[in-house]
Amino acid sequence: MKPRHIIVHDKMQQDYRYALTEPEGRNFDPEFKPELTPKEMLALGVFAGKYLTDCTGEFPKSWFTHARLARANRDPKLNFFGVDASQPLSVWRRNGWIHVDDPRGWFQWYCRYYLGRRMEDDARQIARWKAIRRHIRQIEKNCERGDLACRPRQRQAVLHWAYDSRKL
């Protein structure tokens, strides 16, 4: 596959460039098996509707056709479980979870990875994704299968990491 180059101009990155070296949605690391695509996540309702709202041009238009996006300020009611399950970006920065190439965090990394970008930070992000399984185990341990009212914040947080917590 001939690499396709993307140039980003948004509120957080100016003239950031990356190459898509893999086909969209394919050739993932064998350890990385997300249950939801970025398009599905946006349609379900994640990040209080405020993620990627200033950089829709970077990603396929189809991802935003049914996305639950906030018009102004973030709105937790737009989340699938209707609750706030996010920490501020400042917490992510303080904990060293943000890579300079993806200043919005894990979901931005995932969107770009899904499109076909590969980089040195992939292994770290995949390890972080795998670590979220501890929350899945807590939901499974403490909730009846299919009881979406049980642990809604934890279910929403798991959804933010491309695990389909509706199936738990």
Q: What is the pTM of this model?
A: 0.94
Helices and strands, number each (H, E), in the chain: 6, 2
What is the structure's pLDDT at 55? 86
Residues lower than pLDDT 70 in the chain: none
pLDDT at 17: 96
pLDDT, tens digit, 9 for 90 and up, residues 139-165: 999 999 999 999 999 999 999 999 999
Q: What's the pLDDT score for residue 92?
A: 82
Cα separation, 108 vs 167, whole angstroms: 24
**Residues near 143 by Cβ (< 8 Å), separated by ≥ 6?**
150, 151, 168
The pLDDT value given to residue 24? 97
The residue extents of the domains of the chain are 4-22+43-167
